[in-house]
Amino acid sequence: MLATGIQQGEKLTMSTMMSRTWRPLLAVASLAFGAGLSSAVQAAEPGVYLGLTIGKADGSGPAYKEGADPSLGLAVGWRVNEQLAVEGFTRELSFIRFPELFGRTDAYQIPDRHVGLAVEGTLALSEGWGVFGRAGIGRTKMVGSTTGRRLDTVTDPTLGAGLRYGLGSGWAFKLGAERYGKSKVNAYYLALQYQF
């Protein structure tokens, strides 16, 4: 067995790499999500928060064969307590608005925008720091690669995990990764949140 965990003679495929990449993420997400649910009965001050995310979206489909696209997002959530939140969110997964200007002439579907609802559990690590896991469901708009027009909308489960740092006075930073299952997109982002 090689140091990378790939056995000698084993063919390295995209699905092999993706399954190995997401196993640790799934473990962290499950742990933080489970801890958040199990501690939901603890007293904590609830509140509404707004979030802004910036990052990149990448995937295994033909839409990302030339590299990642920028990704922006917005979120509105209800923090039930320090460990548990419910969030409505949207993420841009592609910024190619005029595909013909970028030389995209092959006909395929591009995941364009996702709108969803997620439950997020946070496990405190130390003062201000925590890990979070999230699971959600939503709709992803698919557009044509050559026209930019909507072709379809698919129901897409999401799974994510990351680090959270509370700055105090309602402000927090998050560094996370998310997987959009059906559209096969990965999003990596930095988020700024403010809780009222």
Q: Which domains does the chain have, with CATH numbers?
A: 14-195 (2.40.160.20)
Asked if residues 132 and 155 have their Cβ atoms less than 8 Å apart, the reply is no
pLDDT for 129 equals 93
Q: Which residues contact 126 (CB under 8 A, 6 or more apart)?
A: none
pLDDT for 31 equals 54
pLDDT for 152 equals 80
The C-alpha atoms of residue 84 and residue 130 are separated, in whole angstroms, by 12
pLDDT for 168 equals 82
pLDDT for 62 equals 63
How many residues are there in the chain?
196
Handedness of CA 57, 61, 62, 66 (dihedral sign): positive
pLDDT for 4 equals 41
Taking the complete model, does pTM exceed 0.95, yes or no?
no
Residues of the chain with pLDDT under 70: 1-44, 61-66, 95-108, 145-150
Asked if residues 83 and 121 have their Cβ atoms less than 8 Å apart, the reply is yes
Q: Copy the structure tokens of residue 56.
A: 């990149």
